């Protein structure tokens, strides 16, 4: 009697859980190396701060670990929630990580180019740490949801909770942009163009690309 092949899914594979454990270790070490990182992320989301605390930019290892956590968690969340029936493989996950990093890197370069062209460099310097903190919060919210979804594959409720988290994340980005860049009615034109071209287009490219891969 022929053996029935086990379908590769997030539940049947062991590597997703080990990866999630590694990502958790990254965020814990980042907080240990630079205490207050997570508290600051939530604090800057609901207040307007002109600067972040002192040595954040100088602590390279903490920043590297936090970026690893953010990219790894968001990539896993995208893969899990867009996954259909293809083999759930780590190679595909790595493709998604490279895709995510590539699109975000291009977006960052274009953002700096736009801020330089329209002489908004000072506002960009103030806004960028707050923007990074928003990504940190999104990653923290998505981490337990993704972990649950891996173990309870196909949960409709978890799926829509994640959709709501992403929508709220985009709304917060627009709100923080208004706080930092709004100087009058004429600035609304630049804000609308910025949001449409440098936020919605990259997000759309990420979602469509991951959906095609998964």
36 conformational bin, left if phi > 0, alpha if psi -120 to 50, beta if neither: left
Question: How many Cβ atoms sit within 10 Å of the Cβ of residue 127?
Answer: 19
pLDDT computed for residue 46 by the predictor: 64
Q: What is the pTM of this model?
A: 0.84
* Mean pLDDT score across all residues of the chain: 79
Phi, psi of 175 (to 5 degrees): -65, -45
Give the 3-state secondary structure of residue 135: helix
Which tops the pLDDT comparison, 90 or 57?
90
Mean pLDDT comparison of 28-32, 44-48, 159-163, 173-177, highest-scoring range: 28-32
pLDDT tier, 21 (very low <50, low <70, confident <90, very high otherwise): very high
pLDDT computed for residue 206 by the predictor: 86
Which tops the pLDDT comparison, 139 or 59?
139
Whether 195 contacts 174, CB under 8 Å = yes
pLDDT computed for residue 29 by the predictor: 93
pLDDT computed for residue 8 by the predictor: 74
Whether 62 contacts 35, CB under 8 Å = no
In whole angstroms, what is the distance from residue 142 CA to residue 136 CA? 10
Q: What is the per-residue pLDDT across 29-73, written as a single tens digit (0 to 9) for each?
A: 999 998 888 887 887 766 655 444 444 445 788 889 999 999 999
């Amino acid at each position: 009697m022929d053996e029935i092949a086990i379908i590769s899914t997030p539940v049947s594979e062991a590597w997703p859980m080990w990866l999630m454990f590694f990502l958790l270790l990254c965020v814990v070490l980042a907080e240990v190396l630079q205490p207050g990182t997570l508290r600051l992320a939530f604090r800057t989301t609901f207040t307007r701060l002109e600067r972040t605390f002192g040595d954040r930019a100088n602590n390279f290892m903490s920043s590297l670990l936090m970026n690893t956590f953010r990219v790894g968690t968001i990539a896993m969340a995208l893969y899990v929630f867009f996954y259909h029936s293809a083999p759930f493989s780590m190679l595909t996950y790595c493709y998604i990580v490279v895709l995510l990093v590539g699109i975000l890197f291009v977006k960052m370069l274009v953002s700096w180019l736009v801020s330089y062209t329209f002489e908004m460099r000072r506002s960009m310097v103030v806004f960028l740490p707050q923007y990074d903190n928003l990504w940190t919060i999104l990653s923290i919210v998505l981490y337990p949801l993704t972990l649950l979804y891996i173990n309870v594959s196909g949960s409709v409720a978890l799926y829509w909770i994640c959709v709501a988290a992403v929508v709220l994340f985009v709304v917060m980005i627009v709100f923080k942009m208004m706080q930092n860049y709004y100087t009058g009615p004429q600035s609304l034109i630049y804000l609308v163009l910025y949001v449409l071209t440098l936020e919605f287009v990259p997000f759309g490219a990420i979602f469509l690309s991951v959906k095609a891969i998964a």
